[in-house]
Amino acid sequence: MTWSWNRLVRGVALPACPFLLSLPRIMLKKLDFNVRVPKGTVVKDFFDSSGFFKVHQNLDFVGKSKKSIEVKRKIEKIAKSDLPVLILGESGSGKTLVARLIHELSIRSMRRFFDENISAIPEHIAESELFGSVEGAFTDARNRAGYFEMADGGTLFLDEIGEASVNIQKKLLKVIETGEFRKVGSPETSKSDVRLVFATNSDLREKIKRGEFRADLFYRMANLVIEIPPLRERKDDIPELCERYLSKKNYFKCFSDSALDELCTFDWPGNVRQLHNTIERAVFNSDDSGLILPEHIEIY
């Protein structure tokens, strides 16, 4: 069986992916996934280092620790469903990556993936950004599609959902329940077939107690929940994370054992994002040397 680069590697056309994931893992590993990419590089293995299917050579949840493997298993399982998903995790832990993987491994992978941070949308335009608007609805309003309309058939990822206003929470609840919404200024109801993925680094149960978040919306969002462990709880993954990042950025360098040991002693409150920034500084500090040493590491 030979698959084209576009179909299997880039994830542009992955309708077969859910079928592949439904097969026993031992059967998948017997299939011939040799693919010749445009530059002549042969990609022989479409499974990551811990045996999980990779959507893209640079798009997978890196790590072989027990907690990372649990996350990968859950991603594969959740991708087969179409229910709303709530991703929980600290800032920088990889929530957007997990949302993207869920989309790429789902039957919606041929359609668009929209990523929007709720906290970054000004309150006065949040409703029109999400649901669209019609001309004359407000000053300078024009007919425009919102994210729910543009993501129809695909996946809409709403990050930092804990920062949504009460008004937006109420409207999101209706969309989850009925698939229906109204553009700002329109009396007509629109429908959207979209897979919703939410994420937050907030404690939503505490927000519910304080009256800052609707309990009914929380229970609707939390049909399926995936919790990403902080990097300090999966330090065994740090060497592989470093190796993969250097490879992805085409840095022809490597960390010495003592440098890796130093990285593994830190607790990483900024998680993987902080680690990546530290790697960038270490690469810069190492100048022309191909080996990154402890003295090249600066953690902020």
Q: What is the pLDDT of residues 245-272, one digit of tens each?
A: 999 999 999 999 999 999 999 999 999 9
pTM of the model: 0.81
pLDDT tens digits for range 111-132: 999 999 999 999 888 998 999 8
* Mutual angle of helices 257-265 and 271-285, in 10-degree steps: 140
Question: What pLDDT band is residue 134 in, cutting at 50, 70 and 90?
Answer: confident
Torsion of CA 57, 58, 61, 63, to 10 degrees: 80
pLDDT tens digits for range 199-227: 999 999 999 999 999 999 999 999 999 99
Residue type, 266: F
What span, in angstroms and rounded, lies between the C-alpha atoms of 107 and 19?
A: 9
**Mean of pLDDT over the chain:** 84
Torsion of CA 60, 65, 70, 75, to 10 degrees: 0
Tell me: pLDDT of 91 over 60. Answer: yes
Among residues of the chain, what percentage have pLDDT more than 90? 70
Phi-psi region of 94 (alpha: psi -120 to 50; beta: other; left: phi over 0): left
> 8, exposed or middle or buried, with CB in 10 Å at 0-12, 13-18, 19+?
buried
**pLDDT given at position 43:** 38
Tell me: pLDDT of 1 over 90. Answer: no
> 298, exposed or middle or buried, with CB in 10 Å at 0-12, 13-18, 19+?
exposed
Among residues of the chain, what percentage have pLDDT more than 70? 78
Tell me: pLDDT of 54 over 90. Answer: no
Question: What pLDDT band is residue 26 in, cutting at 50, 70 and 90?
Answer: very low
**pLDDT given at position 291:** 96
> In angstroms, how far is CA 68 from the centroid of its own chain?
14
> In angstroms, how far is CA 92 from the centroid of its own chain?
11
What span, in angstroms and rounded, lies between the C-alpha atoms of 231 and 216?
A: 31
Torsion of CA 88, 104, 73, 240, to 10 degrees: -80
What span, in angstroms and rounded, lies between the C-alpha atoms of 292 and 281?
A: 10
Tell me: pLDDT of 75 over 60. Answer: yes
Question: What pLDDT band is residue 8 in, cutting at 50, 70 and 90?
Answer: very low
pLDDT tens digits for range 152-194: 999 999 999 999 999 999 999 999 999 999 888 888 899 999 9
